[in-house]
Chains A and B, each alone.
Chain A
Amino acid sequence: DTEVTQTPKHLVMGMTNKKSLKCEQHMGHRAMYWYKQKAKKPPELMFVYSYEKLSINESVPSRFSPECPNSSLLNLHLHALQPEDSALYLCASSQDQGRPIYFGPGTRLTVT
Chain B
Amino acid sequence: AQSVTQLGSHVSVSEGALVLLRCNYSSSVPPYLFWYVQYPNQGLQLLLKYTSAATLVKGINGFEAEFKKSETSFHLTKPSAHMSDAAEYFCAVSYSGGSNYKLTFGKGTLLTVNP
Residues of A within 8 A of B (CB): 2, 4, 6, 31, 33, 40-43, 45, 48, 50, 55-56, 90, 92, 94, 97-106, 108
Contact = CB atoms under 8 A, between A and B. Distances in A.
A2 B51 CA distance: 18
Contact of A97 (B42, B45, B94, B105): B94
Interface of B is mostly: loop
Given A42-B106, A97-B94, A100-B46, A50 B101 contact: yes
B43 A101 contact: no
Contacts of B102: 45, 48, 56
Contact of B90 (A42, A55, A56): A42
A55 B106 contact: no
6 contacts: A2-B46, A33-B101, A42-B90, A42-B105, A48-B102, A106-B43
B113 to A, nearest CB: 19
B62 to A, nearest CB: 19
B14 interface: no
Given A42-B106, A45-B102, A98 B95 contact: yes
A6 B43 CA distance: 10
B96 A98 contact: yes
A5 B107 CA distance: 25
Given A97-B100, A98-B51, A103 B45 contact: yes
Nearest to B6: A42
B99 A55 contact: yes
Interface in B19-67: 32, 34, 36, 41-46, 49, 51
